[in-house]
């Protein structure tokens, strides 16, 4: 089975440009998470969805960041406008909810390495 | 609020040594789940193990073992006879079963370097 798929794997852009990161979760998973990882701040949860509905976006750094999940098989994280401090690896992860299964480990995608010049 | 502390930022050992990675957690819930993930140099986080709060039985998987002690709120991870391929960042995580069900709080990670 395919794991979590993220695209692009690498993105280099200039400050002020719009960046869109994409994620396809594992089929059947009802939770989807977006994380950001940097050396300075470690692994940060930005937002997560349950059944396509955003549950907690308190980790989204500012209004420049937005995330959507239009259906169970696709999510986007958008940064507009991008800034150099947004440079990081962005991970998408998915899992089964506790209501469905007692196993709720998260399965991570390979990440998108974003560099904003 | 839930919290996970991995006090060891970096550990360096020589191959074949045993090494223990510490994880201490805080939670108000009586039902919760603990996890360990591995992030090798390639970058992708990989799930290693899951434990629920009602199962304090320790687990062994090959060279890996986990010691869960509710009395000290710890979920430590031991690698026996370490190998160079064990070099990675290891994250401990906690998930509660209450209002934030499904969401995990991660520790800051421990970077393990195994030298040949």
CA-wise closest residue to A106 among A49, A21, A39, A53: A49
Nearest-by-CA chain A residue for B107: A43
The answer to whether the CB atoms of B102 and A95 lie below 8 A apart is yes
Given this model, what pLDDT does residue B101 score? 64
Comparing CB atoms, the residue among B46, B97, B103 nearest residue A45 is B103
Identify the band that residue B31 occupies on the pLDDT scale cut at 50, 70 and 90. confident
User: What whole-number distance in Å separates Cα of residue B78 and Cα of residue B80?
Assistant: 6
Note the pLDDT tens digit of each residue in B59-109.
888 999 999 999 999 999 999 999 999 999 999 999 877 656 667 889 999
**Which portions of chain A are predicted below pLDDT 70?**
1, 97-103
Cα-to-chain-centroid distance, residue A114: 12
Residue A91 pairs with which residues in a beta bridge?
A: A35
User: What whole-number distance in Å separates Cα of residue B74 and Cα of residue B70?
Assistant: 6
Place of tokens 């852009």: A13
User: What whole-number distance in Å separates Cα of residue A105 and Cα of residue B51?
Assistant: 10
Note the pLDDT tens digit of each residue in B45-64.
999 998 888 888 888 889 99
B5 touches chain A (CB under 8 A): no
Place of tokens 């090494």: B19
The answer to whether the CB atoms of B103 and A56 lie below 8 A apart is yes
With contact defined as beta carbons under 8 Å apart, do A60 and A49 qualify?
no
Q: How far is residue A43 from each of residues A73, B29, B72, measured CA to CA in Å?
A: 24, 23, 25
CB atoms within 10 A of CB A73: 16
Identify the band that residue B32 occupies on the pLDDT scale cut at 50, 70 and 90. confident
Given this model, what pLDDT does residue A73 score? 95
**What sign results for the dihedral spanned by CA atoms A31, A107, A38, A6?**
negative
């Amino acid at each position: 089975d395919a794991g979590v798929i993220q695209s692009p794997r690498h993105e280099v852009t200039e400050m002020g440009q719009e960046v869109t990161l994409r994620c396809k979760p594992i089929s059947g998973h009802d939770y989807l998470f977006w994380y950001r990882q940097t050396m300075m701040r470690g692994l940060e949860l930005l937002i997560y969805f349950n059944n396509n509905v955003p549950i907690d976006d308190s980790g989204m750094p500012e209004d420049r960041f937005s995330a959507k999940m239009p259906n169970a098989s696709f999510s986007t994280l958008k940064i507009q406008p991008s800034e150099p401090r947004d440079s990081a690896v962005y991970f998408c992860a998915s899992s089964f909810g506790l209501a469905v299964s007692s196993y709720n480990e998260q399965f991570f995608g390979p990440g998108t390495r974003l560099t904003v010049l | 609020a839930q919290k996970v502390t991995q006090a060891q930022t970096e550990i360096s050992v020589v191959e074949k040594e045993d090494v223990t990675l510490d994880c201490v957690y805080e939670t108000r819930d009586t039902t919760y789940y603990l996890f360990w993930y591995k992030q090798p140099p390639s970058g992708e986080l990989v799930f290693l193990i899951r434990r629920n709060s009602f199962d304090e039985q320790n687990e062994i998987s090959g060279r890996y073992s986990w010691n869960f002690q509710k009395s000290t709120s710890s979920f430590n991870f031991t690698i026996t006879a370490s190998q160079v391929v064990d070099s990675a960042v290891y994250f401990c995580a906690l998930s509660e079963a209450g209002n934030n069900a499904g969401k995990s709080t991660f520790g800051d990670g421990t970077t393990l370097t195994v030298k040949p």
